[in-house]
Protein backbone atom coordinates (compact mmCIF):
# COMPACT_ATOMS: atom_id res chain seq x y z
CA UNK A 1 0.00 0.00 0.00
CA UNK A 2 1.38 3.37 -1.01
CA UNK A 3 1.12 6.62 0.96
CA UNK A 4 1.25 8.70 -2.21
CA UNK A 5 -1.60 11.12 -2.77
CA UNK A 6 -2.29 12.44 -6.24
CA UNK A 7 -4.12 15.72 -6.55
CA UNK A 8 -5.41 16.35 -10.03
CA UNK A 9 -5.65 19.94 -11.20
CA UNK A 10 -3.13 21.24 -8.68
CA UNK A 11 -1.29 23.26 -11.31
CA UNK A 12 -4.54 24.90 -12.44
CA UNK A 13 -5.59 25.56 -8.86
CA UNK A 14 -2.20 27.12 -8.09
CA UNK A 15 -2.49 29.35 -11.15
CA UNK A 16 -6.00 30.44 -10.11
CA UNK A 17 -4.88 31.16 -6.56
CA UNK A 18 -1.98 33.25 -7.88
CA UNK A 19 -4.40 35.20 -10.09
CA UNK A 20 -6.67 35.80 -7.12
CA UNK A 21 -3.67 36.89 -5.08
CA UNK A 22 -3.23 39.74 -7.55
CA UNK A 23 -6.53 41.05 -6.22
CA UNK A 24 -4.69 41.56 -2.97
CA UNK A 25 -2.43 44.05 -4.70
CA UNK A 26 -5.26 46.39 -3.88
CA UNK A 27 -6.35 47.36 -7.35
CA UNK A 28 -9.56 45.30 -7.25
CA UNK A 29 -10.41 46.68 -3.82
CA UNK A 30 -9.73 50.25 -4.90
CA UNK A 31 -11.83 49.80 -8.08
CA UNK A 32 -14.68 48.36 -6.02
CA UNK A 33 -14.64 51.30 -3.60
CA UNK A 34 -14.55 53.73 -6.53
CA UNK A 35 -17.52 51.97 -8.15
CA UNK A 36 -19.42 52.09 -4.88
CA UNK A 37 -18.80 55.74 -4.06
CA UNK A 38 -19.81 56.69 -7.60
CA UNK A 39 -23.38 55.75 -6.70
CA UNK A 40 -23.31 58.31 -3.87
CA UNK A 41 -21.87 60.90 -6.28
CA UNK A 42 -24.74 60.34 -8.70
CA UNK A 43 -27.29 60.77 -5.91
CA UNK A 44 -25.53 63.88 -4.58
CA UNK A 45 -25.61 65.43 -8.07
CA UNK A 46 -29.37 64.95 -8.10
CA UNK A 47 -30.12 66.54 -4.73
CA UNK A 48 -27.44 69.21 -4.24
CA UNK A 49 -29.03 72.64 -3.76
CA UNK A 50 -28.52 74.84 -6.80
CA UNK A 51 -28.91 78.60 -6.57
CA UNK A 52 -30.59 80.77 -9.16
CA UNK A 53 -28.08 83.60 -9.48
CA UNK A 54 -24.43 83.75 -10.53
CA UNK A 55 -22.11 84.42 -7.59
CA UNK A 56 -18.45 84.95 -6.82
CA UNK A 57 -16.27 82.35 -5.16
CA UNK A 58 -13.83 83.24 -2.41
CA UNK A 59 -11.19 83.70 -5.12
CA UNK A 60 -13.41 86.21 -6.93
CA UNK A 61 -14.34 83.93 -9.84
CA UNK A 62 -17.84 84.63 -11.13
CA UNK A 63 -19.62 81.29 -11.44
CA UNK A 64 -23.01 80.22 -12.74
CA UNK A 65 -25.64 78.40 -10.72
CA UNK A 66 -24.65 74.73 -10.51
CA UNK A 67 -20.95 75.43 -9.93
CA UNK A 68 -20.94 73.40 -6.72
CA UNK A 69 -22.72 70.49 -8.42
CA UNK A 70 -20.11 70.54 -11.19
CA UNK A 71 -17.38 70.62 -8.53
CA UNK A 72 -18.46 67.34 -6.90
CA UNK A 73 -15.65 64.78 -6.93
CA UNK A 74 -14.85 61.35 -5.58
CA UNK A 75 -11.49 59.99 -4.53
CA UNK A 76 -10.63 56.41 -3.71
CA UNK A 77 -7.54 55.62 -1.71
CA UNK A 78 -5.88 52.50 -0.37
CA UNK A 79 -3.51 52.13 2.56
CA UNK A 80 0.13 51.00 2.10
CA UNK A 81 -0.70 47.45 3.23
CA UNK A 82 -3.33 47.39 0.46
CA UNK A 83 -6.02 45.95 2.69
CA UNK A 84 -8.12 49.01 3.55
CA UNK A 85 -9.66 51.24 0.91
CA UNK A 86 -11.65 54.43 1.39
CA UNK A 87 -13.98 56.38 -0.82
CA UNK A 88 -14.38 60.12 -0.33
CA UNK A 89 -17.13 62.33 -1.70
CA UNK A 90 -16.65 66.07 -1.69
CA UNK A 91 -16.16 69.18 -3.78
CA UNK A 92 -13.21 71.00 -5.26
CA UNK A 93 -11.59 73.50 -2.96
CA UNK A 94 -13.17 76.55 -4.57
CA UNK A 95 -16.68 75.22 -3.88
CA UNK A 96 -16.03 74.52 -0.17
CA UNK A 97 -18.93 76.80 0.78
CA UNK A 98 -21.52 74.22 -0.31
CA UNK A 99 -20.23 71.92 2.41
CA UNK A 100 -19.26 74.51 4.99
CA UNK A 101 -22.26 76.82 4.81
CA UNK A 102 -25.07 74.93 3.09
CA UNK A 103 -24.55 71.40 4.47
CA UNK A 104 -23.74 72.52 8.01
CA UNK A 105 -25.51 75.88 8.05
CA UNK A 106 -24.53 79.12 9.74
CA UNK A 107 -26.01 81.12 12.57
CA UNK A 108 -28.13 82.91 9.94
CA UNK A 109 -28.97 79.94 7.73
CA UNK A 110 -30.08 76.49 8.90
CA UNK A 111 -28.13 73.61 7.46
CA UNK A 112 -29.45 71.70 4.49
CA UNK A 113 -27.73 68.30 4.83
CA UNK A 114 -27.75 67.16 1.21
CA UNK A 115 -24.46 65.22 1.19
CA UNK A 116 -25.37 63.14 4.26
CA UNK A 117 -28.75 62.47 2.69
CA UNK A 118 -27.11 61.40 -0.58
CA UNK A 119 -24.82 58.98 1.26
CA UNK A 120 -27.71 57.51 3.24
CA UNK A 121 -30.02 57.19 0.23
CA UNK A 122 -27.34 55.64 -1.98
CA UNK A 123 -25.98 53.25 0.64
CA UNK A 124 -27.61 50.07 -0.70
CA UNK A 125 -26.63 50.99 -4.29
CA UNK A 126 -23.07 51.67 -3.12
CA UNK A 127 -22.85 48.31 -1.37
CA UNK A 128 -24.36 46.46 -4.35
CA UNK A 129 -21.95 48.09 -6.80
CA UNK A 130 -19.01 47.34 -4.50
CA UNK A 131 -19.96 43.65 -4.34
CA UNK A 132 -20.57 43.49 -8.11
CA UNK A 133 -17.17 45.06 -8.82
CA UNK A 134 -15.37 42.59 -6.55
CA UNK A 135 -17.25 39.73 -8.24
CA UNK A 136 -16.20 41.01 -11.69
CA UNK A 137 -12.59 41.22 -10.55
CA UNK A 138 -12.67 37.67 -9.22
CA UNK A 139 -14.26 36.40 -12.43
CA UNK A 140 -11.64 38.22 -14.52
CA UNK A 141 -8.81 36.85 -12.39
CA UNK A 142 -10.19 33.32 -12.56
CA UNK A 143 -10.71 33.58 -16.33
CA UNK A 144 -7.09 34.52 -16.94
CA UNK A 145 -5.87 31.23 -15.57
Asked if residues 128 and 35 have their Cβ atoms less than 8 Å apart, the reply is: no
CB-side neighbour CA atoms (13 Å) of 14:
5
- Identify the H or E element spanning 61: none
DSSP 105: B
- pTM, two decimals, is 0.77
pLDDT tens track for 86-137: 999 999 999 998 888 999 999 999 999 999 999 999 999 999 998 898 888 8
Asked if residues 71 and 58 have their Cβ atoms less than 8 Å apart, the reply is: no
Rounded Cα distance between 19 and 60, Å, is 52
Report the chain's C-alpha Rg in angstroms.
23
pLDDT tens track for 21-69: 556 577 888 888 999 999 999 999 999 999 899 999 889 999 999 999 9
Domain ranges of the chain: 25-134
Q: How many other CB atoms are there within 10 angstroms of residue 93's CB atom?
A: 10
Which residues are CB-neighbours of 80 under 8 A, at least 6 positions away?
A: none
Amino acid sequence: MSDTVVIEGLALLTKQLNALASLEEGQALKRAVKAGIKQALLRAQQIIPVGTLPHRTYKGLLVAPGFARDSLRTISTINPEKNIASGLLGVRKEAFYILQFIELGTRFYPGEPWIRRALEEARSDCEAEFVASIARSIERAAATT
